[in-house]
């Protein structure tokens, strides 16, 4: 009933009639929605009007018209946590279902890849960890980071019109600045995945970054000049992750790889890859079906890069 969010008022009586319940029940529901963070205006003889959403996430808003079977269907929402990733590990160990999402308005010690810090200020971003129990073998897990990167890139494009770029392995950029990052963790036996945790940090409505991050980080608000709906973005991501994951499980990485490459600008360019074993320089040729980056050195030799920080030269 609130799908045409905007200037229209709708009377309590009309809602009650449409839903076949009492006006008392409507009044109670409105109160609950308000407590969940919706801003609802109520004017005598005119009715109710949804003004907008507060800067707070609410479960009912996140679940409203969410078009998934599993991902995001169970949400645990926190005001402030050290890291959603840590909570997700605990919940997964306790048997949380495939698709359960742990979200927080703020992380006090959010983590990126390799225990790097991730800034997660209050009410400005999407800081969430999704528990997956995919029906794949552990060997097939590494490309999942790339599947999620495509889902985030597509969602940002659909919401804002901006076409982001993916930086292998786990960053989403707008221009040269980081908008989002992915941290994929795996807990498995040798031949069976117990669970995966997909951590995603997305700078949505950050107005300003601290001095030390200004040159490397940005937000959708800064890039578009407009506040963006965190709820809509989260829903888009869940829908696309579910869809792409299904494609990956059924058809392998080939169809995803095409999508992934369409968001990557460094293919064919000279890059530097800093690995734990040393630094390599060469032309990025692409990725394999296992998600491994292929770097062509000046002598023509192709080096597989499993793990690195890359930079376009």
Residues binding a copy of itself (CB under 8 A): 113-114, 135, 137-139, 141-142, 144-145, 169-170, 183-192, 194, 276, 290-292, 306-307
CB 264 within 8 A of CB 293: no
Measured from the CB atom, the residue of 170 and 266 that comes closer to a copy of itself is 170
The nearest distance, CB 142 to a copy of itself, in angstroms, is 5
Measured from the CB atom, the residue of 106 and 185 that comes closer to a copy of itself is 185
Task: Encode burial over 207-229: b for 16+ CB neighbours within 10 A, e otherwise.
Answer: eebeeeeeeebbbbbbbeeeebb
Angstrom distance (rounded) from CA 284 to CA 271: 6
Sign of the alpha-carbon torsion through 70, 197, 263, 135: negative
Provide the 10 A C-beta neighbour count for residue 14.
14
The nearest distance, CB 186 to a copy of itself, in angstroms, is 5
CB 169 within 8 A of CB 266: no
Residue 199's Cβ-count burial label (10 Å; 0-12, 13-18, 19+) is buried
Tell me which DSSP letter residue 138 carries.
G
107 is in an annotated binding site: yes
111 is in an annotated binding site: yes
The nearest distance, CB 293 to a copy of itself, in angstroms, is 10
Measured from the CB atom, the residue of 10 and 186 that comes closer to a copy of itself is 186
113 is in an annotated binding site: yes
Tokens of 275: 């690995």
Measured from the CB atom, the residue of 12 and 112 that comes closer to a copy of itself is 112
The nearest distance, CB 253 to a copy of itself, in angstroms, is 13
The nearest distance, CB 309 to a copy of itself, in angstroms, is 11
Measured from the CB atom, the residue of 43 and 276 that comes closer to a copy of itself is 276
Could you tell me which residues are annotated as the binding site for biotin? 107, 111-113, 178
């Amino acid at each position: 009933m609130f799908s045409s969010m905007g200037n229209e008022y709708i009377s309590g009586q009309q809602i009650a009639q449409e839903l076949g319940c009492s006006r008392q029940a409507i009044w109670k529901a409105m109160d609950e929605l308000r407590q969940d963070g919706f801003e609802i205006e109520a004017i005598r003889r005119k009715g109710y009007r949804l003004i907008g959403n507060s800067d707070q996430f609410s479960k009912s808003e996140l679940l409203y018209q969410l078009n998934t079977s599993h991902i995001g269907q169970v949400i645990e929402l926190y005001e402030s946590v050290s890291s959603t990733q840590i909570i997700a590990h605990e919940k997964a160990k306790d048997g949380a279902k495939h698709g359960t999402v742990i979200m927080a308005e703020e992380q006090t010690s959010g983590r990126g890849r390799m225990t790097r810090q991730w800034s997660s200020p209050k009410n400005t971003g999407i800081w969430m960890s999704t528990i997956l129990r995919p029906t794949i073998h552990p060997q097939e897990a590494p490309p999942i980071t790339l599947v999620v990167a495509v889902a985030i890139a597509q969602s940002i494009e659909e919401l804002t019109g901006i076409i982001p770029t993916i930086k292998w392995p786990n960053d989403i950029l707008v221009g040269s600045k980081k908008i989002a990052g992915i941290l994929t963790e795996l807990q498995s036996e040798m031949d069976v995945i117990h669970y995966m945790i997909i951590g995603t940090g997305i700078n949505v409505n950050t107005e300003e970054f601290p001095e030390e991050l200004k040159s490397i980080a940005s937000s959708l608000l800064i890039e578009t000049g407009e506040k963006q709906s965190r709820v809509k973005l989260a829903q888009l991501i869940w829908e696309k992750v579910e869809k792409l994951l299904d494609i990956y499980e059924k058809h392998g990485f080939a169809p995803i790889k095409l999508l992934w490459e369409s968001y990557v600008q460094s293919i064919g360019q000279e890059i530097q890859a800093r690995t734990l074993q040393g630094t390599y320089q060469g032309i990025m040729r692409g990725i394999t079906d296992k998600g491994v980056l292929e770097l062509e050195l000046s002598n023509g030799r192709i080096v597989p890069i499993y793990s690195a920080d890359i930079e376009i030269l």
